[in-house]
């Protein structure tokens, strides 16, 4: 009995198979080897030269041998047919069951990975049958909208901005492609614009693409940048050559208005230039040019009539030296502030109307209006130009250009010292205020500034710069005496 037990132990320990053991120390090693056997059984077409363990099946036969291949092939084909027959019988009685077929694989075709033509046909037929009866897992219907071909150009651009899959091939007509490009430009997404341009470059002739991009400057700039990045030099040179020629032609045509002497004809010519394929910014400038000339024609006609009839006092006191026609916008604004400053906003010659129509900045408007009213010595208008009132009703002077510039413009127009002193006091920087007051002899501002600074030395030095016995000298003496007492 003991001899039989010893032989059994020797057999198990000498065999390539290892018996199950409860030892903790061998548990990890046994799991590792079992996992390796499982992986090797799946990768039967890969040879591992470094694998020390022999790959075997549960029947004890080496995996990949001739006998194992025949058994596995027969069992798989038989099992698949039996499971197919059972599923067909359980599914519906209206369908006839497929007859069982015996596997006809040859060993050479099996190891070469090839199947006979007839067998392939039978497998394709059987696969088609299975699709009719086996349940199929599908995506939700909402996900199929990503691949829908019914999206409008606007919806397509929106989906592209969100990173969705969209096919652009459905846009076949030129009109649809241009609408798609316009929507992409309106979306202000450079990646979408570039993607649409790549599609148009591939599906449109070069002449048509260049012609349409002439009036779409944003898309044109994107295409130029894309061609630079991709290194398509020939297409880039053709595009730049066409753009330069087109721009030169447009500019030369726009310059023709300088040679037109008749104002009405020039106005009509500028109106036609608005339709030229300029950029959006240039078109805006041409539109403003046309509007300004149209406004100047109306103002010139009315003012000439008032000046001839002598019905306006300002035209009698300050006759016009030149016509307002073809003048720049700033000159027109100065003219309006000089002759029509008090007119209501509804009139074409009103300065506030010009400011609103041509979107003149506050700084430019204040500078021009200040120069015009100071030339007329209308100091009340100057004061009203800088006076603001808060919601509590308190007034305060505020200048968007800085009061130091206000002082310079007033002094250039020979403003009185009293007016200058009022605006010199409003300069916030002490050093700038003292320099301006000293330069324009605003003595009261200098004395008051040194008094606020309690600078006795500077007061005594400035006392030497004023006239003896003047009111300024007496004021300095009074301030110095109060400093000694305090």
What does the pLDDT look like over 459-482, one tens digit per residue? 889 888 888 888 888 898 888 888
Beta-bridge mates of residue 389:
395
In a shared domain, residues 419 and 457: no
Q: What is the average pLDDT score of the chain?
A: 76
In a shared domain, residues 181 and 270: no
State yes or no: pLDDT of 379 exceeds 70: yes
- Domain end: 309, 328, 360, which one? 360
In a shared domain, residues 327 and 353: yes
Query: Looking at residues 375-404, what average pLDDT do you find?
Result: 88
Alpha-carbon gap, residue 247 to 251, rounded angstroms = 6
Of the candidates 357, 317, 359, the residue with the CA atom closest to the CA atom of residue 338: 317
42 lies in some domain: no
From the CB of residue 54, how many other CB atoms can be counted at a distance below 10 Å? 10
81 lies in some domain: no
In a shared domain, residues 187 and 165: yes
Instruction: Report residue 149 as tokens.
Output: 């071909």
More confident residue, 451 or 40: 451
- Domain end: 257, 275, 307, which one? 257
- φ, ψ of residue 342 to 5 degrees: the values are -90, 5
Instruction: Report residue 437 as tokens.
Output: 């007051």
State yes or no: pLDDT of 293 exceeds 90: yes
State yes or no: pLDDT of 334 exceeds 90: yes
pTM of the model: 0.52
In a shared domain, residues 275 and 250: no
pLDDT number for residue 39: 52
Crossing angle between the packed helical segments 362-375 and 329-339, to the nearest 10 degrees: 50
61 lies in some domain: no
State yes or no: pLDDT of 486 exceeds 50: yes
State yes or no: pLDDT of 140 exceeds 70: no
More confident residue, 41 or 110: 41
In a shared domain, residues 353 and 396: no
Percent of the chain with pLDDT over 70: 67
DSSP 145-210: GGG-S---HHHHHHHHHTT-----TT--SHHHHHHHHHHHHHTT-HHHHHHHHHHHHHHS-HHHHH
pLDDT number for residue 33: 60
In a shared domain, residues 342 and 248: no
State yes or no: pLDDT of 110 exceeds 70: no
- Domain end: 257, 288, 310, which one? 257
40 lies in some domain: no
In a shared domain, residues 264 and 354: yes
Crossing angle between the packed helical segments 174-186 and 206-213, to the nearest 10 degrees: 40
Alpha-carbon gap, residue 426 to 422, rounded angstroms = 7
pLDDT number for residue 386: 92
Alpha-carbon gap, residue 181 to 184, rounded angstroms = 5
State yes or no: pLDDT of 123 exceeds 50: no
Residue 320, C-beta contacts closer than 8 angstroms, at least 6 positions apart: 303, 307, 339
pLDDT grade for 126, boundaries at 50, 70 and 90: very low
pLDDT grade for 135, boundaries at 50, 70 and 90: very low
Contact indicator for 452, 444 with CB cutoff of 8 Å: no
In a shared domain, residues 243 and 339: no
423 lies in some domain: yes
What does the pLDDT look like over 174-186, one tens digit per residue? 888 889 899 899 9
Selection from 57-61, 140-144, 445-449 with the highest mean pLDDT? 445-449
In a shared domain, residues 158 and 172: yes
Alpha-carbon gap, residue 411 to 261, rounded angstroms = 40
Alpha-carbon gap, residue 77 to 115, rounded angstroms = 14
242 lies in some domain: yes
166 lies in some domain: yes
Alpha-carbon gap, residue 385 to 366, rounded angstroms = 8
For 463, the 3-state DSSP assignment is helix
pLDDT number for residue 3: 56
Structure letter (DSSP) for residue 16: S
62 lies in some domain: no
More confident residue, 278 or 183: 183
Query: Looking at residues 297-302, what average pLDDT do you find?
Result: 94
Contact indicator for 325, 264 with CB cutoff of 8 Å: no
Q: Residue 164 sits in which domain range? A: 153-257
Instruction: Report residue 206 as tokens.
Output: 């070069």
In a shared domain, residues 477 and 421: no
Tell me how many degrees the CA angle 327-329-333 measures, rounded to the nearest 5. 100
In a shared domain, residues 250 and 193: yes
More confident residue, 282 or 421: 421
Structure letter (DSSP) for residue 141: G
When divided into structural domains, the chain yields a total of 4
């Amino acid at each position: 009995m003991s001899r039989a037990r010893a032989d059994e132990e020797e057999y198990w320990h000498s065999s390539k198979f290892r018996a199950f053991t409860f030892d903790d120390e061998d548990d990890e090693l046994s799991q590792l080897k079992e996992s390796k056997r499982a992986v090797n059984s799946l990768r039967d077409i890969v040879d591992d030269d470094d694998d020390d363990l022999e790959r075997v099946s549960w029947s004890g036969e080496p995996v990949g041998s001739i006998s194992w291949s025949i058994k596995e092939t027969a069992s798989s084909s038989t099992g698949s047919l039996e499971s197919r027959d059972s599923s067909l019988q359980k599914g519906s009685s209206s369908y006839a069951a497929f007859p069982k077929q015996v596997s006809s694989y040859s060993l050479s075709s099996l190891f070469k990975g090839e199947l006979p033509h007839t067998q392939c046909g039978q497998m394709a037929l059987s696969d088609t049958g299975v699709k009719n009866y086996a349940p199929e897992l599908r995506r939700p219907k909402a996900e199929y909208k990503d691949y829908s071909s019914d999206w409008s150009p606007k919806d397509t651009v929106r989906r592209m901005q969100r990173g969705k899959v969209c096919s652009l091939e459905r846009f076949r007509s030129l009109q649809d492609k241009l609408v798609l490009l316009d929507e992409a430009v309106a979306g202000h997404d450079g990646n979408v614009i570039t993607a649409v341009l790549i599609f148009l470059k591939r599906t449109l002739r070069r002449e048509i693409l260049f012609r349409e991009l002439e009036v779409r400057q944003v898309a044109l700039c994107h295409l130029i940048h894309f061609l630079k990045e991709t290194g398509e030099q020939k297409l880039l040179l053709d595009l730049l050559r066409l753009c330069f020629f087109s721009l030169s032609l447009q500019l030369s045509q726009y310059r023709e208005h300088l040679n037109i002497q008749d104002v009405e004809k020039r106005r009509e010519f500028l109106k036609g230039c608005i339709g030229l394929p300029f950029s959006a910014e240039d078109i805006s400038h041409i539109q403003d040019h046309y509007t300004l000339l149209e406004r100047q024609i109306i103002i010139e006609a009315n003012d000439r009539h008032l000046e001839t009839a002598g019905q306006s006092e300002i035209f009698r006191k300050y006759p016009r030296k030149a016509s307002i026609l073809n003048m720049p916008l700033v000159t027109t604004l100065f003219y309006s502030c000089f002759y029509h400053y008090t007119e209501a906003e509804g009139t074409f010659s009103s300065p506030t109307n010009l400011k609103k129509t041509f979107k003149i900045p506050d700084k430019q408007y204040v500078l021009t209006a200040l120069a015009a009213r100071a030339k007329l010595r209308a100091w009340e208008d100057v004061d009203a130009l800088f006076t603001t009132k808060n919601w509590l009703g308190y007034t305060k002077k505020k200048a968007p250009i800085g009061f130091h510039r206000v002082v310079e413009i007033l002094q250039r127009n020979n403003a009185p010292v009293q007016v200058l002193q009022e605006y010199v006091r409003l300069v916030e920087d002490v050093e700038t205020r003292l320099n301006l007051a000293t330069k324009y002899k605003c003595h009261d501002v200098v004395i008051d500034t040194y008094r606020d600074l309690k600078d006795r030395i500077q007061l005594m030095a400035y006392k030497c710069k004023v006239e003896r016995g003047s009111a300024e000298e007496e004021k300095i003496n009074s301030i110095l005496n109060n400093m000694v007492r305090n």
